[in-house]
A = this chain, B = another copy of it.
Amino acid sequence: MREVAVIGVGMSPWGELWRSSLRDLFAQAALEAMKDSGAPRIDSMVVGCMSSGLFNGQEHLGSLMADYAGLRGIPATRVESACASGGAAFRTGVLEVASGASDFVLVGGVEKMTDVSGDAATRALSAASDFEYEAYQGATFPALYAMVARAHMDRYGTTRKQLAMVAVKNHENGLLNPRAQFRQRISVDAVLGSVMVADPLRLLDCSPITDGAAAVVLCPKELAVKLKKKPLIKVAGIGQASDCIALAQRKDITRFEAAALAAQRAYKAAGIGPDEVDFAEVHDCFTIAEICVLEALGFCKTGQGGRFTEEGHTSRLGRKPINPSGGLKSKGHPVGATGVAQIVELVEQLRGSAGERQLSKVRCGLAENMGGTCGSAVVSILTREGA
């Protein structure tokens, strides 16, 4: 396998963008990433998107987006793995470069979620659950994650306040991110006083509905060296895993097996362990999700995710900064774009170009992107080479 580098990144604005269409958003991110990359051409494209069919009446995104990004004719494929669509697209693109089939591959992610009613959006998102056993029975994602939260609190003594502290920390980070959808400081009291969505999860425990796109350009490491990309950002390892998607079929709903398995595979490929990871972007679609993921990635012991958060280890200045971008909670969560945007954040931090939110001395970053209640997960580890 050829080693793969990330040589360009781009993002559209994120938010409620009623004046931009699905293709507008994608093209903005793609053009920015291509310009940033300095690539002489794009050989192939992969688009991550969860449900443009239900949100926009539009499938066939590979060709549509290639055309509107000025790349008509190239192979272009859409990849879907619910909210892990962006991460799965990134892995698909990395394998295409690694195989030798293509040199310069654009990987983008996009979702345009605000053109339908809240009810229709909830139904579209519930297509990430097991339709026959969950969605059809009325279970929505806040309800499913609420069951995970309740079980975690019951089994490990995780507190309502610890959940709130995930949201407070991510909003604090998002304040420094000009691209974040919600740049506002919130307090633990504000979370605890926000409207109940699915007990114990309240509005400020939940990531928002967002329109947005993100894109990256990949190439073999040796071509990145020729293009004089400094610092050189290398894909050190990727792991992907699946699980049953219905919570009722799991042995332990507080343990995110797919994230743990994907992380093991990524660590093995990169030849490192969790201690060598300097910072991470993780899939905080709900506050409880970030807590479960901290455990699955091996950043803390099983059951200790809430305490690890409360002790401040995951803050910008802690020993394992988590979601310096603001995460899904503050930056927004256009589902198909999220996994690609996590890679954008890793690259900007590793390049030292993250502006006000720049972390100090980071050489190794990890992105964890997951679908549904962790029915699928992709973990990517990126490292900065050289000085």
Contacts and interface: CB of A to CB of B under 8 A. Distances in A.
Nearest to A125: B59
A81 B77 contact: yes
Contacts of A244: 63, 67, 72
A63 B96 contact: no
A75 to B, nearest CB: 4
A241 B81 contact: no
B88 A53 contact: no
B95 A58 contact: no
Q: How many copies does the complex hold?
A: 2
Interface stretch (A11-19, A189-197, A288-296, A371-379): A371-379
A79 to B, nearest CB: 6
Among A51, A60, A96, A98: residue with most chain B CB under 10 A: A60
Given A80-B78, A101-B95, A63 B240 contact: no
Contacts of A53: 51, 53-54, 124, 127
A59 B64 contact: no
A56 interface: yes
A61 interface: yes
B73 A241 contact: yes
A61 B76 contact: no
Contacts of A275: none
Interface string A50-93: 11111011111111101100011111111111100000100110
B95 A64 contact: no
A353 interface: no
B72 A92 contact: no
B1 A72 contact: no
Interface string A120-149: 000110111111100110000000000000
Among A53, A71, A375: residue with most chain B CB under 10 A: A53
A242 B63 contact: yes
A100 interface: yes
Contact of A243 (B21, B73, B131, B241): B73
B242 A375 contact: no
A-B pairs, 8 with minimum CB distance? A75-B240, A99-B99, A63-B242, A60-B82, A59-B127, A58-B131, A53-B53, A63-B375
18 contacts: A44-B240, A60-B128, A62-B81, A62-B242, A63-B82, A63-B258, A63-B372, A64-B130, A67-B249, A72-B243, A76-B240, A76-B376, A77-B91, A77-B240, A78-B79, A78-B81, A79-B79, A99-B99
